[in-house]
Amino acid sequence: MKIFGSAIDVRPLFPREREAMLDLLRGLDPADWARSTVCPGWDVHDVAGHVLNDYMRRLSGSRDGYGGAVFANDETLPAYLTRTNDEFVRASRQLSPRLLIELLEHLGPRLDAVWAARDLEAPADLNVSWAAMDLDSPTWLDIGREYTEFWVHQQQVRDAVSLPGATEPDLMAPVLELFARALPYAMRALDRPEGTTVRLEVLGPAGGQWSAAREDGRWRMATPAGEPAARVSMDQDTFWRLATRGVTVEQARERARVSGDPELTSAMTTLLAVVA
């Protein structure tokens, strides 16, 4: 049983997700670019600038092997990302919306080419800390994490301007499946007998069922089978927002149905699939 579960190849989806984002941005008027988003202190223009930063950071690191990160004294990774993301967003405020769109159009296919050349089962360039802190991540999980980030930022823009979209199951389902890979890490502090399983059910056209099991002293992704010791069910919109803290844990629990071991269900509903 693989700790992270079976590989998910999202590489064919990057162009489609990006074109949906670009179509959205092209249709915005000046007032829309200034609308606030769920990201504290960031408007729509800032979120677009942040996505550009993500493109440039991964091209510099994963394509060019450029290690330009400089941490301040005793700075943690979350603190570093918060600081540098904010620095780039502030600088990108001088860029026009037209130029932001043009840069995303230009750099996106170059990043697609980087992912296309990768061996999905090889060690990742960047580990996915929300799936495991003590294990090397496979490349498919690293690439998948980038897809989820781009998709979520698009949804944040759509929320801000009240234009829903990009939720077709083939675009959204991989996001939910990747976020489910955070399930074992969410329960890492809870010891249970070998073979104990839990099940997460996400309801909706893009939803699915995922299980984790206790094996060899740690939680791992597992194939759903038998009656779990704990079960959590929620709709797909609540799940992705919980995983990115677009809703609070308390709000997600109010919307969820849970049964079984209360400690396990409590841990399952703290699932987080972003660096924080």
pLDDT classification of 68: cutoffs 50, 70, 90: confident
pTM score, two decimals?
0.95
Query: Which residues lie below 8 Å from residue 260, measured CB to CB, with a gap of 6+?
Result: 198, 228, 229, 230, 231
The reported pLDDT for the residue numbered 225 is 81
Least confident segment among 47-56, 74-83, 111-120? 74-83
pLDDT one-digit tens code per residue, 121-173: 999 999 999 999 889 999 999 999 999 999 999 999 999 999 999 999 999 99
pLDDT classification of 1: cutoffs 50, 70, 90: very low
Helix (H, G, I), strand (E, B), or coil: what is residue 228? coil
Mean pLDDT of 51-71: 92
Give all domains of the chain, ordered by start, each with its CATH number: 11-122+132-164 (1.20.120.450), 183-268 (3.30.1050.10)
Residue 68 backbone class (left: φ over 0; alpha: ψ -120 to 50; beta: rest)? alpha
**Residue 12 gets which letter from DSSP?**
G
Query: Which residues lie below 8 Å from residue 24, measured CB to CB, with a gap of 6+?
Result: 154, 157, 158, 161, 163, 165
Catalogue the E-assigned strands of the chain: 197-203, 208-215, 218-222, 230-235, 257-260
Mean pLDDT of 256-262: 98
**pLDDT above 70 for 276:** no
pLDDT classification of 73: cutoffs 50, 70, 90: confident
d(CA 119, CA 36): 39
Cα 270 versus chain centre, distance: 15
